[in-house]
Amino acid sequence: MTSAPSPQPALARLAELRAGQVCRLPATDACAEAWHQWSQPEIDALRLAYAAGRPLLVQGEPGTGKTQLARAAAEWLGWRLHAETIHPRFEPHELRYRFDAVRRLADAQAGAKRLDRHRYWRPGVLWRAFGWESAQPFMPVAERGRKPAGHVVLIDEIDKADSDLPNSLLDVLAQRSFQVEPVTEPIGGPAVRAPLIIITTNEERDLPAAFRRRCIVLSLAAGDDYAAWLVERGQAHFGRQLHEAGRELALIDETILRAAADQLVTDRRAVESLNRPKPGLAEYLDLLYALEALFEHETDAAVRTAQQKAWLTRLSAYGYLKHQVSDTTSPAHQPSQARQRMGATDAPLVG
């Protein structure tokens, strides 16, 4: 009987991670360059999930880095990432395969003498991860390649689908194999190294209890000091050093990181009291990337920081507060005028 490959090499690699460590995530066709700061709960949960052979269910409010965790894990392990974002009309079988019935019908009506099955079947993320070799003939040529060292599967926002989707995963997670029509042999099985499966949820819908029991669960939260948590992640993205005229300068000064974090905390409190969606880490980083881009041509670091500080409050009104507030007594009402009184200037937007 063939045994499954040992998980020890991957576990040893994960054991090398340290809390606070920052890893660069190179740009891909689908994602811009980014940086991930590892936390101890992330490291522990990943190690437990892979050692136990269970998927990691990552839950938390939008913008806390749930999706980026999968990308960071794949980069650290040197494995291939297969990502699928779930939407309300997503069908459970699409995680395993897609079949283009319309294209096949068109070929048949056009009088094709031979209907090539490779034109109509496309492997889903689970087929690619559990059966790389069998998936190759059905994949677009540009996506084929030699067998990766391992696979990370990201199933993003599973709570967008109804309960049929997580329930359909129960057999796959239990058996670690499944069948698809175009190939005769089962996909996966005991001789195949199981992928690391990461599933995210914004908790907009309850997941079936049976499914949750089969997962390792990680809750991503900022802790008591939300502003400090934001600044730490801002430093991971913008605390990298540039060499200018023999000096080392951060991409964005820490005073800007802290001011942007404090403003976001203020806005979160304002909209939370009105039962509106709260801004979070994603909005914070968007604002910082904008401030970096708007003044990147200013060569004097002190001038650049002063310009960014002058415009931060005004621009955050549009990046942080994305819902109209009808309560005119709220500090979130008409934020651009209020924030101009807080110190934003009429200085030119570009340096």
Q: Map out the domains of the chain as residue ranges.
A: 8-219, 226-340
Q: Cα–Cα distance between 206 and 203 in angstroms, integer?
A: 6
Q: Cα–Cα distance between 181 and 105 in angstroms, integer?
A: 18
**Amino acid residing at 285:** L
Q: Residue 94 pLDDT > 80, yes or no?
A: yes
Q: Residue 342 pLDDT > 50, yes or no?
A: no
Question: H-helix or E-strand containing 269?
Answer: helix 254-272
Q: Which residues contact 209 (CB under 8 A, 6 or more apart)?
A: none
Q: Residue 82 pLDDT > 60, yes or no?
A: yes
Minimum mean pLDDT among 24-28, 166-170, 270-274: which range? 270-274
User: pLDDT > 90: what percent of the chain?
Assistant: 50
Q: 136-148 as b/e, with b when 16 or more CB fall inside 10 Å?
A: bebbeeeeeeeeb
In this prediction, residues 182-188 reach a mean pLDDT of: 90
- The whole-angstrom distance between residue 14's C-alpha and the CA centroid of its chain comes to 19
Give the highest mean pLDDT range of 73-82, 236-245, 297-306, 324-333: 73-82
Burial of residue 249 (CB within 10 Å: 0-12, 13-18, 19+) is middle
Q: Which residues contact 309 (CB under 8 A, 6 or more apart)?
A: 255, 256, 259
Q: Residue 7 pLDDT > 80, yes or no?
A: no
CA angle 60, 237, 300 (to 5 degrees): 145
Which pLDDT value is given to residue 184? 87
At residue 315, φ and ψ (nearest 5 deg) are -70, -30
Which pLDDT value is given to residue 241? 56
Q: Cα–Cα distance between 349 and 310 in angstroms, integer?
A: 10
Written as six digits, the tokens of 206 are 């309850």
Which pLDDT value is given to residue 308? 92
Q: Which residue has the higher pLDDT, 324 or 36?
A: 36
**Residue range 8-219, CATH number:** 3.40.50.300
Give the number of C-alpha atoms closer than 13 A to the C-alpha of residue 110, restricted to the C-beta side: 9
Q: Is 47 helix (H, G, I), strand (E, B) or coil?
A: helix
At residue 247, φ and ψ (nearest 5 deg) are -110, 155
